[in-house]
Structure formats: C-alpha cells, structure tokens
Amino acid sequence: MRFAVLLFGQPRRYEEGYKNLSTFLSQQKNVEIDLFYHCWTLNQGEVFSNSPYRKISQEELIYTTGVEEALLALYKPVAYEYEFTKEFEITQYKNTLAYKNTLSNPTKIKNCKNVLSQIYSRNKVRTLFAEYVQKKQIQYDFVCMTRFDLTFSPTLRLADLDPLKVYVSKLYSPKRKILPDLFILMSQSVCIQWFTLYNDLKKLIDTPSLLKEVQNLGETIDINTEELILAKYILEFKSVENIIYTSAIRGRL
C-alpha cells in the first residue's frame, strides 16, 4: 500500500506536529509513505498572522531561521515548496454571495485573509502532489491532508478503510455536514480533483446554484475554510454520501 501525506501552511509547533503524525504513521503496517508540503516563510523575527478563533502566544508566531532545514530533515519530503508569506486581499470578493453571507459574523470577517492563505497553501501542496504523481506515474491508495501543528494522532488503520470513502472528524456530525479540516483522508483521485480550492475560489463563492445545493444540506457558503471545503466537495462530487464522519479523527487543535 502507498500513502501520501500532504502538509500545508505555517510551520508553527512543527516538532509536536511531527511527533503526532509519526505516531499515526507508525500504526500502519506494510505501507510506503511519501511526504509533500507547501510552507509559508518570513524573515527572521517577523510574526505570522493567526486566526482570531485561537489564542496563540507571540513566541509561537515568530519565524526563526533554521526552520526550513529542520523541516527537510524531519519530513524528508519527495516534493516541497517554501514561499514567502503573501498578503491576501479580500476587497475583490466583497460583492460575492459568500462574503455577504459572512457579514453577520465579525470574527469570520476578521479571519478572511487567513482563510485565503490556508486554501492557497492547500492548493499549492495539492499541485505539488499532482505533478509528482504525473511525473512518476505513481498510484497512492490513500492521501491525507493535514497541518504542521497537528496536536493529535488519528487512530485510523489504513488497512481497514474503504478507498472510495473520505474520512473526516465527526466534530459537528450528525447535526451538521461541514467538514472539519484538521485531518482529511481520501483517495488520490479525490484529493487531486477536490483541493483546487484557491484556483476555483470565485466559482465557489459566487455561484447561486452551488449555494442552493449546499443550503439543501442545511449549510451555507461563506468565507470560512470548513464551509469552502464542503462547497468544493459538493461542486465536484454532488453529495456527501461517501463522507465518513469518524471519532478516530479529533476535530479541534
């Protein structure tokens, strides 16, 4: 069995994240594992922005030299990219359906730029993965997408899973259908089709028919990662019948 791990975002608390990911990987038997990542960087001593939903110490947000070399030594990725942090502009999206749906939540409005940063990074690591797969003509049985600061070890066993299903935390289930985004496990083909989030953002946030499909699930589309991930899944696959909401994946950091 072949398994790909896709990491994205800011390299905060990466030592702890590596430990937790390694615990999960060590539970898998007879599995070949390849790692991929897209990682934001800054100049020495500069500070990452962070979500208003989380209280993160200033020390944790400071970028230090040596991070890039440390990540390479830990993860030994088969493909990776470091990119200096971009400033994302939300103004161009203010007339969209999704932005208007976000206006009633001031915290989500404050978080919009962080959301754009995250979905961009997810899209970038997905592209690294897709290009590697095409170049090497490799077929992975499963793929997971997660963060550098993963704070838990999922208890899933790949050998017991259905490759036609997608596995996410049951944090909101059964009341809601949105997809907790800390750790998502899926097939290679689903990953490549699904995670062009940033490339397809305008379609996701301003298509009335897609909004209606999501509303039929009791959800909406706004500028928030979990809602956008669900919207893109519905855009590509039309229903959530292949989603498994499981307690084997924790829902919060």
Report all structural domains of the chain as residue ranges with CATH numbers, in order of start.
Answer: 2-246 (3.90.550)
Which residues of the chain have a pLDDT value below 70?
Answer: 253
pLDDT of residue 90: 95
How many CB atoms sit inside 10 A of residue 164's CB?
Answer: 9
Contact by Cβ (8 Å): 195, 145 = yes
Q: What is the pLDDT of residue 253?
A: 60
Q: What is the pLDDT of residue 45?
A: 86
* SS3 assignment, position 176: coil
Q: Which residues, in sequence order, are bridge partners of residue 36?
A: 6, 79
Q: How far is CA 12 from the centre of its chain?
A: 15
Cα dist. 198→129, 149, 156 in Å? 16, 22, 29
What is the pTM (predicted TM-score) of this model? 0.95
Encoded amino acid at 96, one letter: T
- Cβ(183)–Cβ(169) under 8 Å? yes
